[in-house]
């Protein structure tokens, strides 16, 4: 699926037998490119569903700015799962260059985004410092290719294939962009996400402590793996 207009047709992404059939969203849910208007829903789903890292601690206004930047940056993208009634059931975000994305966020949104949450940034300085010092890959091996930044589905939508469809759309999008590898950093204590990524063909490449006392996995995807 090309989620943004493409000039060149891209051959379908190779899929190994071990990965099983390509997941489809359930009836009444469609996968589409995210827009600036979707950054509010993405921020809410992130704040409610993802508890690791320091981003959720900074609140939905900060997250909304971040997702707006992800939509606007040419090297990054947002994809959403939308129900027939227009509600956003889930999202996935990715970036070909996460460092460039954060640099751009700091340049364009830094002061405005950080000022209202300065107190919270100070209170959680350790988690912020750990993430900024090491990047998503912590002190471990760096990931190769595009980064899967975040995925979340609202609780009523869990277990219906929406998360799997979003990961498929993410992989199709990076393939369309000519990127051959992808990675994700996930908490080892998040079995649903680890199983979701494993089912899509990601495998564990490294294990490290991004945040003190919490094990994270670097999971790497290569075409046809």
Give me the residues that bind ligand COA (CB under 6 A), please: 23, 49-50, 150-153, 157-164, 186, 190-193, 195-196, 199
Is 159 exposed, middle or buried, given 0-12, 13-18 or 19+ CB atoms closer than 10 A? exposed
Q: Which residue is nearest to ligand COA (CB)?
A: 163
Packing angle, helices 98-114 and 60-72, rounded to 10: 140
Residue whose CB is less far from ligand COA, 93 or 113 = 93
Residue 46 C-beta: closest distance to ligand COA, Å:
8
Residue whose CB is less far from ligand COA, 65 or 163 = 163
Residue 212 C-beta: closest distance to ligand COA, Å:
19
Q: Which among 183, 191, 165 has a CA at the least distance from the CA of 28?
A: 165
| Residue for token pair 């204590």 | 189
Residue whose CB is less far from ligand COA, 26 or 75 = 26
The phi, psi pair for 188, rounded to 5°, reads -60, -25
Instruction: Compute the CA torsion angle 210, 223, 103, 216 (nearest 10 deg).
Output: -10
Residue 80 C-beta: closest distance to ligand COA, Å:
13
Residue 200 C-beta: closest distance to ligand COA, Å:
8
Residue 8 C-beta: closest distance to ligand COA, Å:
29
Residue 133 C-beta: closest distance to ligand COA, Å:
20
Residue 122 C-beta: closest distance to ligand COA, Å:
25
Residue whose CB is less far from ligand COA, 88 or 153 = 153
Residue whose CB is less far from ligand COA, 152 or 169 = 152
Residue whose CB is less far from ligand COA, 110 or 214 = 214
Is 4 exposed, middle or buried, given 0-12, 13-18 or 19+ CB atoms closer than 10 A? exposed
Q: What is the chain's percent helix, strand, coil content, to nearest 5?
A: 45, 25, 35
Q: How far apart are the first and last CA of the chain?
A: 19
**d(C-alpha 220, C-alpha 32), whole Å:** 24
What CA–CA distances, in Å, run from 172 to 52, 149, 175? 26, 15, 5
Residue whose CB is less far from ligand COA, 10 or 215 = 215
């Amino acid at each position: 699926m090309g989620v943004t207009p493409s000039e060149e047709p891209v051959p379908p992404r190779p899929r190994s037998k071990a990965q099983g059939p390509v997941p489809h969203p359930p009836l009444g849910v469609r996968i589409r490119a995210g827009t600036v208007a979707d950054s509010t829903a993405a921020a809410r789903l992130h704040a409610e569903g993802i508890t690791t890292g320091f981003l959720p601690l900074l609140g939905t206004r900060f997250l909304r700015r971040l997702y707006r930047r992800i939509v606007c940056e040419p090297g990054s993208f947002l994809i959403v799962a939308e129900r027939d009634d227009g509600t956003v059931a889930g999202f996935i975000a990715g970036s070909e260059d996460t460092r460039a994305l954060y640099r751009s966020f700091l340049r364009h949104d830094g002061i405005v985004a950080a000022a209202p949450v300065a107190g919270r940034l100070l209170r959680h300085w350790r988690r912020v410092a750990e993430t900024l010092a090491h990047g998503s890959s912590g002190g471990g091996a760096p990931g190769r290719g595009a980064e899967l930044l975040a995925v979340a589905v609202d609780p009523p939508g869990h277990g219906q294939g929406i998360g799997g469809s979003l990961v498929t759309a993410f992989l199709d999008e990076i393939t369309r962009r000519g990127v051959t590898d992808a990675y994700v950093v996930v908490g080892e204590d998040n079995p649903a996400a680890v199983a979701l990524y494993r089912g899509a063909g990601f495998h564990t490449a490294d294990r490290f402590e991004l945040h003190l006392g919490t094990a994270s996995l670097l999971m790497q995807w290569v075409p046809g793996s």
